[in-house]
């Protein structure tokens, strides 16, 4: 959106490791000490025995920036076609998705913090808009084979600005190396309720050291579902209007191994989406629409030296534009991002890993609503960081340090400490969020003097020991956010951004699972529950009535169940989600009722003349529950989708 939410110079600083003098000395001293320790411990060894002196560590799999976090892989459902990220996350019920209607704006909220605190990363780069600071998860496709990981907790030391509540990581890796070289095409089509048609096509070439895949996906939907409009006299049954969607995605992913130690990668993603914006239940018919277009390119070069070190360079370029029509007025905006990141990961000594890196990002933005609508506003960002991990018996400990500069402005110095031991894990971090272009440069309203948000977060969790049938995990968390940036009305009634509120989020999570098999029949059941209490602990003058009240559109309870069954080539999955009451006002005077929703998924795989086929059927909102995620924005009742897919 162009500053509208439908829901309601480089610094003159010498940098070594990118840290202030004190931390630079501390880290340098620690590094020298470990290098000396390693040198003496390996003294008089034959060079051929050097690898044997190092631990058996897979540098490629080193996860220094994840130690102590609660991580979730979205790999439990049978994928046959690309799904919007918002829908994929709804099925697992691991985040609260603030969706207006099918195909329209959908934002993410992790642990009670808002969309600006829950970034989405694609191929390692942040997709948050530099203009409004959010990601529209309804536009992001998740393809079969993509790796989608959800990380809870503050991660500014590892991921930079914005990652205060959690982060979603999408890696479109394409198909991995395959023993059977050659071409591998695939085609799929599906249809469903309310004028829904979808298609996908892919072409992959793979061999021992090369893999390349091009894939195209498209969506057409009218989304003219019926609903009962309780705001009108007699509560008539009407159809949703002005809610059509036309979207196409084209992605290319390639990887090539150069010798045994070098790897080059390229990912290109183009997207065009035309969406109508439906009216709320209280509004007359609407003709509003939004046009989104984007091109995203990420390239990488990696050098791997056995288990000793890895050097990786990555570059990205994003170009995104939006045209938005509301009440007859058309506004446009465009944002560009160019980014570079280099990282070195080293095994310094047995049980010691070290990673250091630097990054540079340049962002441009132009919008009809800015102070000068013909001018590109620019922001440069420099970051430098270091991470150190030490392996201990039955666990590990990790420390991360990061400093960033935005032009001549220094961001808060951030750090992170995490550990894991015998099933226990903990994590503490300092985090921050920079103001967006809209916050600072919107005509007559933006505030260039806004300060970055800052805060602290912590996690403590325990994982049930590995068992043949049972699994489980429990955790508690908290997050503090100071200098929260909110657009609030002043004495003249006009909304402007200010640093004023303080927010405290705290809660608990429990996950449990059981699996069993009898011959060709297998089943799994997973249960999850999350409690989140997030309140204002400091407010604007005159707003004492919202003090210690739950933030709007933040349910205290989220719960879900997955029941998966497998028999020969058949797969059946039933998912059930519960979403608690959500307050729609800051003083908690108005609320939306809790709701439950069920989804049934069926899939059958078979081979015919050397070709693999898949047939699937999905029934969403099985119990035809009438509900709203956002006030006066109805969601569809019972609906279906069926598809067939061919692989060679």
pTM value?
0.88
DSSP structural state of residue 233 = T
Is the per-residue pLDDT at 277 higher than 60? yes
Mean of per-residue pLDDT scores for the chain: 86
User: What pLDDT shows up at residue 490?
Assistant: 66
Residue environment code for 155-191, b if the CB has 16+ CB neighbours within 10 A, otherwise e:
bbbbbbbbbbbbbbbbbbbbbeeeeeeeebebebebe
User: What pLDDT shows up at residue 17?
Assistant: 31
Owner of token pair 């070195």: 344
Separation between Cα atoms, residue 496 and residue 121, nearest integer Å: 29
User: What pLDDT shows up at residue 8?
Assistant: 34
What are the two backbone dihedrals, phi and then psi, of residue 303, each rounded to the nearest 5 degrees?
Answer: -120, 125
Phi-psi region of 383 (alpha: psi -120 to 50; beta: other; left: phi over 0): beta
What is the average per-residue pLDDT within 548-557? 92
**Burial degree of 541 (CB within 10 A; 0-12, 13-18, 19+):** exposed
Is the per-residue pLDDT at 56 higher than 60? no
Question: What percent of the chain clears pLDDT 90, i.e. is strictly above it?
Answer: 64
For the chain, the structural domain boundaries read 21-46+71-647
The H-or-E segment that residue 388 falls in is strand 377-392
Please, which pLDDT band fits residue 18 given cuts at 50, 70 and 90?
very low
Is the per-residue pLDDT at 11 higher than 60? no
Is the per-residue pLDDT at 479 higher than 90? yes
Is 21-46+71-647 assigned to CATH 2.40.40.20?
no
Alpha carbons within 13 A on the beta-carbon side of 185: 2
Is the per-residue pLDDT at 409 higher than 90? no
What is the average per-residue pLDDT within 632-637? 94
Q: Please, are residues 204 and 213 in contact by the beta-carbon 8 Å criterion?
A: yes
Question: What percent of the chain clears pLDDT 70, i.e. is strictly above it?
Answer: 88
For 411-469, write each residue's pLDDT tens digit: 899 999 999 999 999 999 999 999 999 999 999 889 888 999 999 999 999 999 888 89
What is the average per-residue pLDDT within 292-305? 94
Is the per-residue pLDDT at 100 higher than 70? yes
Separation between Cα atoms, residue 192 and residue 176, nearest integer Å: 32
What are the two backbone dihedrals, phi and then psi, of residue 88, each rounded to the nearest 5 degrees?
Answer: -65, -40
Q: Please, are residues 431 and 152 in contact by the beta-carbon 8 Å criterion?
A: no
CA 176 to each of CA 201, 204, 276, 314: distance values in angstroms, whole numbers, following the listed order: 18, 10, 38, 20
Separation between Cα atoms, residue 225 and residue 230, nearest integer Å: 15
Is the per-residue pLDDT at 45 higher than 60? no
**Burial degree of 462 (CB within 10 A; 0-12, 13-18, 19+):** middle
Q: Please, are residues 19 and 384 in contact by the beta-carbon 8 Å criterion?
A: yes
Is the per-residue pLDDT at 48 higher than 70? no
Residue that wins the pLDDT comparison between 438 and 33: 438
Alpha carbons within 13 A on the beta-carbon side of 295: 3
Please, which pLDDT band fits residue 505 given cuts at 50, 70 and 90?
very high
Q: Please, are residues 415 and 464 in contact by the beta-carbon 8 Å criterion?
A: no
Residue (of 631, 563, 557) closest to 601 by Cα position: 563
User: What pLDDT shows up at residue 59?
Assistant: 55
What are the two backbone dihedrals, phi and then psi, of residue 463, each rounded to the nearest 5 degrees?
Answer: -110, 135
Please, which pLDDT band fits residue 325 given cuts at 50, 70 and 90?
very high
What is the average per-residue pLDDT within 203-230? 91
User: What pLDDT shows up at residue 75?
Assistant: 80
Is the per-residue pLDDT at 638 higher than 90? yes
User: What pLDDT shows up at residue 93?
Assistant: 79
For 70-79, write each residue's pLDDT tens digit: 888 888 777 7
Q: Please, are residues 165 and 111 in contact by the beta-carbon 8 Å criterion?
A: yes
**DSSP per-residue string spanning 408-447:** TEEPPPEEEEEEEETTEEEEEEEEEEPPPHHHHHBTTT--
Q: Please, are residues 561 and 579 in contact by the beta-carbon 8 Å criterion?
A: no
Separation between Cα atoms, residue 338 and residue 347, nearest integer Å: 31
Separation between Cα atoms, residue 573 and residue 523, nearest integer Å: 9
Is the per-residue pLDDT at 103 higher than 70? yes
Q: Residue 76 is encoded by which pair of tokens?
A: 């439990």
Please, which pLDDT band fits residue 110 given cuts at 50, 70 and 90?
very high
For 157-200, write each residue's pLDDT tens digit: 999 998 999 999 999 865 544 456 788 899 999 999 999 999 99
What are the two backbone dihedrals, phi and then psi, of residue 318, each rounded to the nearest 5 degrees?
Answer: -120, 135
Q: Please, are residues 109 and 98 in contact by the beta-carbon 8 Å criterion?
A: yes
Q: Residue 365 is encoded by which pair of tokens?
A: 């933005």
User: What pLDDT shows up at residue 177?
Assistant: 44
* Pairing mode, strands 120-122 and 166-171: parallel
For 112-159, write each residue's pLDDT tens digit: 998 999 999 999 999 999 999 999 999 999 998 899 999 999 999 999
Please, which pLDDT band fits residue 647 given cuts at 50, 70 and 90?
confident
Strands (E), 69-127: 71-73, 83-84, 96-99, 106-109, 120-122, 125-126
């Amino acid at each position: 959106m162009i500053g509208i939410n439908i829901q309601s110079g480089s610094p003159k600083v010498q940098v070594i490791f990118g840290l202030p003098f004190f931390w630079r000395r501390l880290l340098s001293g620690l590094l020298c000490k470990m290098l000396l320790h390693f040198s003496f411990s390996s003294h008089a060894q034959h060079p051929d025995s050097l690898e044997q002196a190092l631990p058996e560590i897979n540098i490629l799999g080193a996860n220094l920036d994840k130690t102590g976090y609660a991580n979730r892989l979205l790999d439990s459902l049978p994928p046959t076609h690309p799904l919007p990220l918002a829908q994929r996350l709804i099925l697992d019920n691991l985040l609260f998705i603030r969706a207006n209607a099918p195909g329209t704006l959908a934002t993410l909220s992790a642990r009670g913090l808002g969309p600006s605190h829950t970034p989405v990363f694609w191929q390692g780069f942040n997709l948050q808009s530099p203009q409004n600071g959010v990601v529209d998860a309804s536009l992001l496709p998740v393809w079969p084979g993509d790796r989608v990981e959800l990380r809870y907790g503050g991660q500014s030391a590892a991921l930079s600005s914005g990652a205060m509540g959690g982060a979603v990581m999408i890696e479109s890796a394409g198909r991995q190396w395959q023993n059977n070289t050659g071409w591998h095409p695939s085609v799929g089509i599906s249809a469903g309720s309310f004028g829904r048609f979808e298609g996908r096509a892919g072409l992959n070439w793979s061999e021992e050291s090369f893999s390349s895949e091009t894939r195209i996906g498209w969506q057409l939907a009218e989304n003219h579902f019926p609903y009962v409009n309780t705001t009108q006299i007699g509560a008539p049954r009407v159809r949703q209007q002005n809610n059509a969607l036309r979207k196409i995605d084209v992605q290319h992913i390639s990887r090539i191994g150069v010798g045994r130690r070098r790897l080059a990668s390229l990912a290109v993603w183009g997207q065009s989406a035309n969406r109508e914006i439906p009216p709320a239940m209280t509004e007359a018919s609407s003709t509003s629409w939004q046009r989104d277009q984007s091109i995203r390119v990420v390239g990488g070069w990696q050098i791997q030296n056995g288990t000793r070190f890895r050097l990786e360079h990555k570059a990205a370029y994003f170009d995104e534009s939006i045209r938005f029509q509301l009440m007859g007025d058309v506004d446009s905006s465009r944002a560009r991002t160019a980014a570079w990141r280099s990282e070195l990961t080293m095994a310094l000594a047995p049980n010691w890993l070290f990673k250091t890196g630097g990054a540079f990002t340049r962002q441009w933005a132009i919008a009809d609503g800015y102070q000068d609508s013909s001018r590109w506003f620019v922001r440069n960002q420099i970051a430098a960081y270091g991470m150190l991990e030490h392996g201990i018996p039955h666990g590990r400990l990790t420390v991360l340090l990061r400093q960033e500069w935005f032009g001549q402005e220094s961001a808060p110095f951030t750090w992170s400490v995490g550990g894991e031991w015998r099933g226990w894990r903990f994590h503490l971090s300092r985090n921050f969020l920079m103001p967006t272009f809209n916050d600072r440069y919107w005509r007559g309203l933006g505030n260039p003097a806004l300060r970055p948000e800052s805060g602290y977060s912590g996690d403590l969790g325990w994982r049930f020991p590995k068992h043949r049938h049972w699994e489980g995990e429990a955790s508690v968390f908290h997050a503090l956010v100071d200098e929260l940036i909110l657009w609030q009305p002043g004495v003249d009634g006009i909304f402007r951004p200010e640093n004023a509120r303080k927010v405290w989020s705290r809660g608990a999570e429990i996950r449990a699972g059981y699996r069993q098999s009898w011959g060709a029949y297998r089943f799994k059941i997973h249960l999850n529950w999350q409690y989140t209490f997030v309140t204002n602990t400091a407010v604007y003058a005159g707003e004492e009535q919202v003090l210690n009240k739950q933030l709007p559109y933040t349910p205290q309870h989220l719960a879900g169940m997955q029941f998966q069954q497998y028999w020969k080539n058949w797969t059946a999955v039933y998912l059930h989600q519960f979403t608690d009451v959500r307050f729609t006002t800051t003083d908690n005077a108005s609320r939306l009722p809790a709701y439950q929703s069920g989804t049934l998924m069926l899939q059958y795989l078979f081979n015919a003349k050397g070709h693999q086929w898949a047939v699937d059927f999905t029934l969403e909102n099985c119990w035809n529950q009438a509900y709203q995620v956002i006030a006066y924005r109805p969601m569809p009742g019972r609906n279906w989708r069926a598809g067939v897919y061919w692989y060679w």
